[in-house]
Amino acid sequence: MPMSPTRDLTGSLLLGGVRLSDVVLAAGTPTYVYDLDGIAGQARSLRSALPAGPNAHLIAYSIKANAAGPIVRALAGEGCGADVVSGAELRVALACGITPDRIVYSGVAKQDDELDFAVACGDRGIGAVQIESIEEIARVEARARAAGRRARIGIRVNPNIDLGDATHAHISTGHDDAKFGVRKIDLDRAVQLADGSPWLELTGMTTHVGSKLPTVEPYLEAARILFRTVRRFREAGELRALTFVNTGGGFSVDYGGGPVPRPADFARAVVAEQRAQGLGDLALYVEPGRALVAPFGVLLARVIQPKVTGSARFLMIDAGMNDLIRPALYQARHRIVPLEDPPGRDGAAESVWHVVGPVCESSDDFGKHTLPRDPPASVAILDAGAYGFTMASKYNGRQLPAEVFVRGGVMAGRTERESAETWARKRAMAGR
């Protein structure tokens, strides 16, 4: 799988075959551009490593990574389901053609109206409301009883794995101090409550250890704990309605720091473990977000001006932490490259630029990058397809970035940027 983007012979940067300088002309900046064919191809390569056969697996795309309709539809077209964390994300999944059966719903503080909607979807409600606490079981049961329908649920097992420095503390979720999942000490009670309720059908056992896992090992370890738990309950005659085990998301992408395992590598490891533990009769669900979309999205920005003072060389661009918060929030590094890089430029014509955005915070900082000494007109921030637009804000009176969707080598769709006038009018009129 070639990692996007690429350059043509004149040094123009292309994504999905579209020249990104043309996108700047058509849509302005800051603008996210996504390669829908690349995203679909990534889902196919993951699928090839999962158990074959009807309902033997489900790739539940974690919509929080990127909820744009064309992306969700492209993944639905590859047979993916969805992992959602709100009633709004659930509505996006349904609107993009994902059937309720293929949707799982995680999250520690689901609201009653969100649960009601999940239980009311389709013939039997969504595939599973994934329970994150003992207390939540009674809440879902009450909503199911009120609706007069059985709710399908999963129990999210907190595997208590300390990821240490393997990933950022903000996205390490599978340890006992985290708010997520049911701790081991509460599992017997959770299964008893769920299995004992006439209003609940315990169809799934699930886990998620964290995001951006640099190696397969912690993912496999969480899966092993989940599978052992399932075996233990089954041996005691419980979990009779179980149809799936869900090992969660968290697959990494190479943000430029060096190769990481591919989604299929994570999948192969857990498939082998599932078989080894004698659970081959259950469907295997995975919940990737980042790995399906991050490498296939870029954020385009124009260079506003340099500021060279003393030994500092700032390059100010028109995208900021409001458009892509990952560097500010997780000290994440995204590669930044010029849109035009004609062949023949020698290394002496480069310098290290400290790339910063326009937002009035020192954390609005994309780090130091080697770029042409004569600042390029525009740059692309790479691997920005996941947790970019979905985490964007309008801080500092800025507008949400535009988005362009590329398919079959052409711009197949786009969203417009809200105007500064509209933003200003709405704020000025607030509460009136």
Q: Is 421 in contact with 79 (CB distance < 8 Å)?
A: no
Q: Smallest distance, Å, CB 130 to ligand LLP? A: 7
Kindly tell me which residue out of 201, 287, 364, 403 binds ligand LLP, with binding defined by CB under 6 A. 287
> For ligand LLP, which stretch binds (CB under 6 A), given 207-215, 310-318, 340-348, 421-429?
207-215
Phi–psi pair at 369, nearest 5 degrees:
-140, 140
Of the candidates 100, 90, 85, 197, the one whose C-alpha atom is nearest the C-alpha of residue 132 is: 85
Q: Which two tokens stand for residue 82?
A: 């969805």
With respect to ligand LLP, which residue has the nearer C-beta, 134 or 171? 171
The contacts of residue 194 (CB under 8 Å, 6+ apart) are: 131, 137, 153, 155, 200, 202
Using CB under 6 A as the binding rule, whether residue 246 contacts ligand LLP is answered as no
Kindly tell me which residue out of 56, 120, 134, 171 binds ligand LLP, with binding defined by CB under 6 A. 171
Residue 4 DSSP symbol: S
Using CB under 6 A as the binding rule, whether residue 133 contacts ligand LLP is answered as no
Kindly tell me which residue out of 117, 227, 233, 251 binds ligand LLP, with binding defined by CB under 6 A. 251
With respect to ligand LLP, which residue has the nearer C-beta, 60 or 187? 60
Nearest-angstrom CA–CA distance, 334 and 381: 6
Q: What is the 3-state secondary structure (H, E, C) of 11-73?
A: CEEEECCEEHHHHHHHHCCCEEEEEHHHHHHHHHHHHCCCCCCCCCEEEEEEHHHCCCHHHHH
Using CB under 6 A as the binding rule, whether residue 62 contacts ligand LLP is answered as yes
Q: Is 205 in contact with 191 (CB distance < 8 Å)?
A: no
> For ligand LLP, which stretch binds (CB under 6 A), given 33-41, 229-237, 285-293, 298-306?
285-293
Q: Which two tokens stand for residue 321?
A: 């932490």
Q: Is 407 in contact with 37 (CB distance < 8 Å)?
A: yes
> For ligand LLP, which stretch binds (CB under 6 A), given 12-20, 90-98, 243-251, 311-319?
243-251
Kindly tell me which residue out of 57, 102, 262, 290 binds ligand LLP, with binding defined by CB under 6 A. 290
With respect to ligand LLP, which residue has the nearer C-beta, 208 or 398? 208
Using CB under 6 A as the binding rule, whether residue 34 contacts ligand LLP is answered as no
> For ligand LLP, which stretch binds (CB under 6 A), given 108-116, 206-214, 351-359, 398-406?
206-214
Q: Is 80 one of the annotated active-site residues of the chain?
A: no
Using CB under 6 A as the binding rule, whether residue 105 contacts ligand LLP is answered as no
Nearest-angstrom CA–CA distance, 350 and 338: 11
Binding mask 325-364 for ligand LLP (x = CB under 6 A): -x---x----------------------------------
Using CB under 6 A as the binding rule, whether residue 32 contacts ligand LLP is answered as no
Q: E-strand spans in 269-426?
A: 283-286, 297-309, 312-317, 336-338, 350-356, 365-372, 378-381, 402-407, 410-415
Q: Smallest distance, Å, CB 429 to ligand LLP? A: 32
Using CB under 6 A as the binding rule, whether residue 208 contacts ligand LLP is answered as yes
Q: Is 17 in contact with 404 (CB distance < 8 Å)?
A: no
Using CB under 6 A as the binding rule, whether residue 417 contacts ligand LLP is answered as no
- Sort 240 into a burial class: Cβ within 10 Å, 0-12 / 13-18 / 19+: exposed
For CA atoms 387, 415, 118, 232, give the dihedral sign. negative
Of 80, 96, 121, 360, which one is the catalytic site residue? 360
Q: Smallest distance, Å, CB 12 to ligand LLP? A: 29
What burial letters (b/e) apply to 9-23, b meaning 16+ CB within 10 Å?
eeebbbbbbbbbbeb
> For ligand LLP, which stretch binds (CB under 6 A), given 28-36, 208-216, 305-313, 314-322?
208-216
With respect to ligand LLP, which residue has the nearer C-beta, 367 or 413? 367
Using CB under 6 A as the binding rule, whether residue 136 contacts ligand LLP is answered as no
> For ligand LLP, which stretch binds (CB under 6 A), given 28-36, 117-125, 283-291, 297-305?
283-291
Nearest-angstrom CA–CA distance, 385 and 367: 19
With respect to ligand LLP, which residue has the nearer C-beta, 329 or 412? 329
Q: Are strands 312-317 and 297-309 parallel, antiparallel or unpaired?
A: antiparallel
Active-site annotation, residues: 360
**Interacting residues toward ligand LLP by CB under 6 A:** 62, 65, 83, 106, 171, 173, 208, 211-212, 248-251, 287-291, 326, 330, 387
